[in-house]
Amino acid sequence: MQIAFNASGIEILAPGHALEDGQFGGLIRVENLNSGRIVKGFVAGENKIKVIPKLN
């Protein structure tokens, strides 16, 4: 799964592991495999979530 973060027109991607199931547009928790941090993001497609900075 990819974790996507957009800021000022730059997209940063990181590998992640979903901690729960979700549907398109739903909010789920995902573990960032690089840092071990748990983040929340919206399901943006198959195997991709979009992280919103104010949620984490």
Domain ranges for the chain, please list them. Answer: 2-55
State residue 50's pLDDT score: 95
Q: What is the dihedral of CA 21, 24, 28, 29, to 10 degrees?
A: 90
8 pLDDT tier (thresholds 50, 70, 90): confident
| Per-residue model confidence as pLDDT tens digits over 35-54 | 999 999 999 999 999 998 77
| 2-55 classified as CATH 3.40.50.970 | no
The reported pTM is 0.82
Do 40 and 55 form a contact (C-beta atoms < 8 A)? Answer: yes
